[in-house]
Amino acid sequence: MIGVAILFIVLGILIKYGKMYWLIAGYNTMPKEDKEKYNIEGIANVFRNVMFGMALIIIIGYFIAKLTENPDIQNYAFWTSMIFGIPYLLIESNSKKYRKKQK
């Protein structure tokens, strides 16, 4: 599970700081004129923050599972991060707040 957390951290860094926006599904297939309608920097911030948050939940769950010697906690933390993180990421990144105002 720590590997998944590391993957999320790496993806968050690549999308935000590496400007690898092609990793964002849907954005990479948009025509250029449609891409210009979106604040990709804001969307990249959302992706970074959500990926880091999900990774943090997984890592905390891992350490609590080790401390309590209860491996179920690690699974609960992983699935909690997925159940809340993915819908939040989809809803927030598709909100109108990241659409540029048309002149």
Confidence of residue 4 (pLDDT cuts 50, 70, 90): very high
How do residues 25-69 score in pLDDT, each as one tens digit? 888 888 888 888 888 899 999 999 999 999 999 999 999 999 999
65-95: pLDDT as tens digits: 999 999 999 999 999 999 999 999 999 988 8
Average pLDDT estimate for 6-29: 90
Calpha distance 5→36 (Å, rounded): 32
Burial per residue of 50-87, b for 16 or more beta-carbon CB atoms within 10 angstroms, e otherwise:
bbbbbbebbbebbeebeeeeeeebbeebbeebeeebee
SS3 at position 85: helix
Q: Which helix (H) or strand (E) holds 6?
A: helix 2-16
End-to-end CA distance of the chain: 47
Question: What is the C-alpha separation between 37 and 70, in angstroms, rounded?
Answer: 48
Q: What is the pLDDT of residue 103?
A: 62
pTM exceeds 0.95: no
